[in-house]
Structure 1
Amino acid sequence: MDIQGRSAFITGGQRGLGAAVASELLTRGAERVYVTAREPNESTDPRVVALSLDVTDDASVAAAAEEAQDVSIVINNAGVAGGIPLLRTPVPGSAAVFETNVFGPVRIAQAFAPILARHDESALVNMLSVLSWLAGAGAYGASKAALWSVTNSLRLELRDQGTLVVGVHLDLADTDMSARFADSVKTSPAVVASRVLDGIERNEVEVLVDDVSRDVKARLDGPVEQLTWSL
């Protein structure tokens, strides 16, 4: 899939990984990039359109989709941390993590599927995590495991309209969300963005950004008790 001349939509697109992906899209010739936040900052670049979006709110998602009718690439990047212990956290606390990390991307997929269907080539990208496959990260890891399953199901549901569905797995990226892991090896957002867009251009359904993700994916057929997250 060629990115040149296309319009893209990124949830959580004004900081961290989202901002890096937006920048890389423009470098590769995207015509317009919609970047969202709950309280977005206006962009000085005429190719960048800042939109208000709360992925947990149906009306907000519908309004954003109405504004971005020309997109052929949608990237679900918005998410919240939540490595909270499942046994010691009231269910509403875990549910809030799922509301953003799982049902948010589902809302976006539902709203944008008809828009993506208008194009000969289109892509829906979900930013996942190596924690999709590893135990020990509480509600956050569980939400990413759920989103991995959602991604694989959406791939089947969108296949007939020709939309490529891409799942992106990575360990730690050097963003605000990972700041508390100061001594850990992290991948720069620019490198993540480049590998994600390489995957789109090669029509890959899965992008394993780093060695950790590749190693864990290779071990999925081994003993389940060895699939545990540790730093």
Structure 2
Amino acid sequence: MSSFKGAVVLVTGANGGIGTHFVHEALARGAAKVYATARTPRTWDDERVVPLRLDVTDPASITAAVAAAPDVSILINNAGASPSTFSILIQTEEEIRTNVEVNFLGPLFLARAFAPVLSAHGRGVVIDVISAMSWYAAGGIYSATKAALWSATNSLRLELAPAGVHVVGAHVGYVDTAMAAHSDDPKTDPADFVRTVLDGTEAGAYEILADETSRQVKAALSGPVEALYPQLAPST
């Protein structure tokens, strides 16, 4: 079981809609300090929030963040990028590389860098914000990077468990933020998503399916690929 009471939390992508809610909700649950990281940190109206510059695609920036925040006990990998189109054949090479760097390599390298710090606590926590699209290839390179992060999260969970570090993977469909503004599909309120993730973390969950979309897609993985992608079924 994990608790935010007295914890020191680091949130990536803290300036965004979901990230801001992670900062506020962690404090509401008793966190002693929250490092609110972004490439361009903003000011906060709470002395418990420490703005910290972090570019998850820059190894030197990650190293500097570990040095600046040696007391972190909970790492929340929330920062993410989305391409301008979901067609993997149309996405530019720059978009593909950016998504790989931000959505996959960034959280992986950050977790690796903070692993000794979290292990020293004995009850450290890593929360990776993944996506229902990790199991549904509708997002082109976005889906591919989230699938890779899901796999890496599973690996980190197994390797960090002996050190007492609890690794959580959080999956959700669309959340009502600027990143999902292009879609008219149902969207989860970001505050509700964050509460669900932190409730699950405190309850000891390893994997959190935060909405009906993520639950349905995860369940469909055990079936034939044509059931998940009806367009692949033979025409009659």
Please indicate, yes or no, whether the TM-score normalized by the shorter chain is above 0.5: yes
Identity %: 46
Which residue does the alignment assign to 1:137? 139
- Count of residues in correspondence between the two structures: 229
Q: How does 1:95-174 map to 2 (within 5 A)?
A: 95-174=97-176
Which residue does the alignment assign to 2:5? 4
- Per-residue deviation, residues 47-86 of structure 1 (Å, max 9, x unmatched): 0011111000000011111111111100100010024422
Partner AA of 2:228 in structure 1: L
After TM superposition, give the deviation of residue 92 of structure 1 in Å: 4.3
Which residue does the alignment assign to 1:36? 37
Corresponding position: 1:16 with 2:17: yes
Give me the whole-angstrom Cα distance separating, in 2, the residues matched to 1:84 and 1:215: 21
- Per-residue deviation, residues 104-162 of structure 1 (Å, max 9, x unmatched): 01110111001101112111010011000002211111111111111111111111111
Give the TM-score of the pair, scaled to structure 2: 0.93
Partner AA of 2:31 in structure 1: A
Contact kept in structure 2, 1:125 and 1:168, CA below 8 Å: yes
Partner AA of 2:124 in structure 1: S
Classify the secondary structure of the residue corresponding to 1:35: strand
Which residue does the alignment assign to 2:186? 185
Partner AA of 1:124 in structure 2: V
CA distance 1:40–1:163, change in 2 (3 Å): same
Partner AA of 2:216 in structure 1: D
Which residue does the alignment assign to 2:234? none
- Per-residue deviation, residues 156-201 of structure 1 (Å, max 9, x unmatched): 11111110110000011111101111x3211111101101111111
Classify the secondary structure of the residue corresponding to 1:108: helix
Contact kept in structure 1, 2:5 and 2:30, CA below 8 Å: yes
CA distance 1:44–1:90, change in 2 (3 Å): closer
Give me the whole-angstrom Cα distance separating, in 2, the residues matched to 1:175 and 1:43: 20
Give 5+ residue unaligned stretches, structure 1: none
Which residue does the alignment assign to 1:88? 90
Give 5+ residue unaligned stretches, structure 2: 232-236
Give me the whole-angstrom Cα distance separating, in 2, the residues matched to 1:113 and 1:175: 30
Give me the whole-angstrom Cα distance separating, in 2, the residues matched to 1:166 and 1:226: 28
What is the root-mean-square deviation in Å for CA atoms of aligned residues? 1.6
Give me the whole-angstrom Cα distance separating, in 1, the residues matched to 2:171 and 2:59: 27
Give me the whole-angstrom Cα distance separating, in 1, the residues matched to 2:230 and 2:96: 19
Give me the whole-angstrom Cα distance separating, in 2, the residues matched to 1:97 and 1:3: 30
Contact kept in structure 1, 2:37 and 2:52, CA below 8 Å: yes
Partner AA of 1:9 in structure 2: L
Give me the whole-angstrom Cα distance separating, in 1, the residues matched to 2:48 and 2:26: 11
Runs of 4+ residues deviating >6 angstroms = none
